[in-house]
Structure 1
């Protein structure tokens, strides 16, 4: 299991501190040193868990949309999308809890033809208004015969969205494209003729679970 690069600095700092104070305990340090050593080890393990980045692989055909996030499907419905498609589309919303893997992956292969960062609020991510009002990155992808929009949306706890791609970048399906610290939600928008392959309340895994089929 890998650790996402966003967590390397914190993991190194806590790990080094834990080792230093553990040496102090071994050399006869008092209860204060023991407590500090324990706290440092706890923070090291928490950081390791929080920034975990397991390998994920999918051998599905390229006409399949894979999940960009770990989490639970909380929305499936048709809606008007007026920023990228300018048409009625299908929407699938995925809620990421603080316990989920926070790394996001590209749902299809293609070129980033649209990118926008939106400042906003930090409402609870499972609220419907969070999809439009909260801070987020909005990413449009176009493949050979595919077109899809997805959003990384911040939440009440998750107040930092990290996105590694920009307009003009080429991505492969399943490629790591960023993370949302402390979870939150990811929304996908795709054409009405795409067959949705998930159900409400279904658990999905980034890079593996099939969301839809072109």
Structure 2
């Protein structure tokens, strides 16, 4: 099990605190920081994923639960009628984000905002968020990382003009959060509200031939 580098300081600090409490106070005093160290190790995990070898597949950018699937009248980047899939990530889900398809990043936009619970319908408009637009030459999509009530930092490992492969890691949202994917109308959505999805593995849509 890999751990993303952003988790090292959290795990290290909790581990040092647990060790110090054990040595200088008592074994009981080490329980809380020890549990925190275990939680941070669990939270910042980056498990290996098997990415579908299918050029028509749009994969989930995150682990979590599908909160909604809706139509969008227009999108400035995707253009025309679109479909949006919203995925909620609890603190128990893997929080690294993956690219839904192969393509080049042609849009990157960070927006400051509030920190409302990530399951609220309005968080995509009110909360802190980071959006990338991916273009593969034939179609465009957007993926938006949205902070939640506990998430206080959105981490991006990519920038404009970077090329991503399907399922490639591109970022992280620290603690409970939400991810939105907007795809053009020529994509058949294969998930529905309430479905559990796995980042990089679950196919959430297929491009119509």
Give the structure-1-normalised TM-score.
Answer: 0.90
* Structure 1 consecutive aligned stretches of length 4 or more whose deviation exceeds 3 Å: 16-22
1:177 aligns with 2:170: yes
Unaligned runs of 5+ in 1: none
Counterparts of 1:46-85 in structure 2 under 5 Å? Answer: 46-85=39-78
C-alpha contact 1:161 1:181 (8 A) present in aligned 2 = yes
Question: Which of 1 and 2 has greater Rg?
Answer: 1
Deviation (angstroms), 1:166: 1.4
C-alpha contact 2:157 2:171 (8 A) present in aligned 1 = yes
Q: Partners of 1:122 and 1:12 in 2: how far apart?
A: 26
1:91 aligns with 2:78: no
Q: Match of 1:107?
A: 100
Deviation (angstroms), 1:42: 1.6
Q: Match of 2:15?
A: 15
Q: Partners of 1:39 and 1:97 in 2: how far apart?
A: 21
Unaligned runs of 5+ in 2: none
Give the structure-2-normalised TM-score.
Answer: 0.92
Deviation (angstroms), 1:170: 0.8
Aligned-residue CA RMSD in angstroms?
1.6
C-alpha contact 1:115 1:140 (8 A) present in aligned 2 = yes
Deviation (angstroms), 1:158: 1.7
